[in-house]
Amino acid sequence: MPSSQSSSPSSSSSFPSWFVIKLTALASLGGCLFGYDMGAISGALPQLTKQYGLSINEQGWVVSILFFGGGFGALIGGTICDQMGRLTTILITDFLFLIGAAWFIWVANSFSSLLIGRFLVGIAIAISGVADVAYLQEIAPQAWRGAIVSVNEACISLGFLLAFLAGYVYSDGETEGWRYIFGMAGVLAFLQGIGMWNMPESPVWLAGQGRIEESENVYRILESGDTTTITTKKTESSHNDDDIGNPMMMMTTTGSLSTPLASYQSSPPRKGPSSLRSSFSTTANMESMMMMMMKDDTSWSTMIYSLRTAFSKYFRQAWIAFFLAVTQQFCGQGVVLNYAPAILGDDSPTWSTLVVGGIKFLVTVLVIYKIESVGRRSLLLWGMGLITVGLLLLSVSPNNTILVLPGILAVVCGYSMSFGPLTWLLTAELFPSDIRGRTLGISTIVTYCAAAIVTRTFLPISEWLGYSFVFGGYASICMMGIIFAYLAIPETGDRSMEQIESALEHMSFWGRSPKKDEEGDIITTTMTTTNTNPNPISTFELGMTSRSSSYRDDRQPSSSTSPKAPLQQSRFFV
């Protein structure tokens, strides 16, 4: 295997190369697409209702069918991404987004055709949610991985803002402005597709396919920014077929990764609370490399095994993950965004919807900046509390319309500081790496199903029982959720799996009162293990030598008996 001198510490922790910045901007356009297509219906629905005379039930189907498509896309997205590659999958989703935009502009002329177009876009959204985040994690230097993934998170909220802006612009004097609202997504898809066309594939995926020389070449490009050596032809691996997919083939006899992987992936993380660097480098660095270099078993038996394992061995974590996936939809934030004009009492989007989009974007960026210093548990509890206040304001708004906008803003802000960034982060941190990818995939499917139910039933129930009853019900769910979160969910930031397990055991909801120190923090104990019969694989899993310790996943268990798992990264459901 070709080798080169490792970069110095100073260089390895320096600012990412211009090429990495370029790739981050292009891949994060997928985040804009994700948020835009999620939010576009807010401005388009009033026009669709007028043009086609949609009933309450039909409006519910037009909104919710996107999430049914998302659930189907979540089922197949991880497999497509693993088998075809991250870059190829991104280009496929761009093509689907283009087809969806063209469909709405030229083909959608009936209620049924609207459903077909929305279902197709939903599939593209879910698959894009897997591919874009996986690509960003695997092209980013470890020291900047959290910040780079956070750019995508911010772009999702930016996409919502752009969708609300398009709805505002094309709502004035346009009889079929909804076609332009949906069609604008095609512009973003075209820009991303053209920009990504000649970009390199993920080096981690290439290594997993045994294309080691191509993988090393991509790492050199990412580190130096020199694109003159980009190769598109599949090269022969210097290892035999038995070695393909073996992560140990990427290591030298000293236990550290061979260059250029070591110089690009093993740099110590930068300090400071400016992003999600720490949390994401913990859950993504070793997991991405290990899982993608294995021969993946993506059968239904593997998914069923994950469910059985999660609800037996990790039943507490499984219930928390289920709570997060379901409650983040039944808190009502999705219907507030999708039906904003109707809730505000407007026939079309107004400046109020722009304010909602702008505030959502600003709060998302602020939370990304402060999450490490504030803590996951505190953000979750305070965010859910703010959502509850907003829902209570909305529940009394029919008698006092001046409370509608503050109520919507409270719900959106509370969600952006709690469920938005924390659902997938907490789920990833609660489970060990051998089943983490599949539990994230299962949580994604549950979330899309919950979103479909909530958006489908909102208008019919509101017409039957009124907004006060619906928002009051959502508020009740949130209040019960706050109690559950306070009693059952510990702080997970910067803790190992053993520490998280210990903290769960001392949460009162699970049968034991938490022990606290003098400052009121929950006391955790750290389990220690002794490896009496070390071997290369177990040493690699427990943590390699100090030269590569910053590259390992400290939440990975010492042994694994589960089937090999595909990497199923989930984008934050903002």
Q: What is the mean pLDDT of residues 503-525?
A: 65
- What's the maximum distance between 2 C-alpha atoms anywhere in the chain? 76
DSSP 257: B
Q: Is 159 exposed, middle or buried (0-12, 13-18, 19+ CB in 10 A)?
A: buried
Predicted pLDDT of residue 161: 94
**Which of 328, 326, 334 lies closest to 42 in space, CA to CA?**
334
For the chain, what is the total number of helices (H) and then of strands (E)?
A: 23, 0
Specify the pTM: 0.77
Predicted pLDDT of residue 173: 60
Predicted pLDDT of residue 234: 42
**Which of 139, 128, 497, 129 lies closest to 288 in space, CA to CA?**
139
Q: Which two tokens stand for residue 215?
A: 């993988």
**Which of 477, 476, 457, 376 lies closest to 419 in space, CA to CA?**
376
Predicted pLDDT of residue 299: 54
What 3-state DSSP class applies to 339?
coil
**What is the rounded distance in angstroms from the CA atom of residue 275 to the CA atom of residue 150?**
7
Tell me the CB-side half-sphere exposure of residue 73, using CA atoms within 13 A: 29
pLDDT at 110 over 50: yes
Predicted pLDDT of residue 547: 30
**For the chain, how far is it from start to end, CA to CA, in angstroms?**
43
The more confidently predicted of residues 176 and 390 is: 390
pLDDT at 21 over 50: yes
| pLDDT tens for each residue of 208-255 | 889 999 999 999 998 877 666 554 444 443 444 444 333 333 333 333
The more confidently predicted of residues 260 and 285 is: 260
Structural domains of the chain, ranges and CATH numbers in brackets: 16-574 (1.20.1250.20)
Query: Could you tell me if residue 511 is left (phi over 0), alpha (psi between -120 and 50 degrees) or otherwise beta?
Result: left
Number of neighbours of residue 14 by Cβ within 10 angstroms? 15
pLDDT at 36 over 80: yes
* Residue 17 confidence class, pLDDT cut points 50, 70, 90: confident
Predicted pLDDT of residue 100: 96
**Which of 189, 191, 213, 190 lies closest to 201 in space, CA to CA?**
213
Predicted pLDDT of residue 567: 43
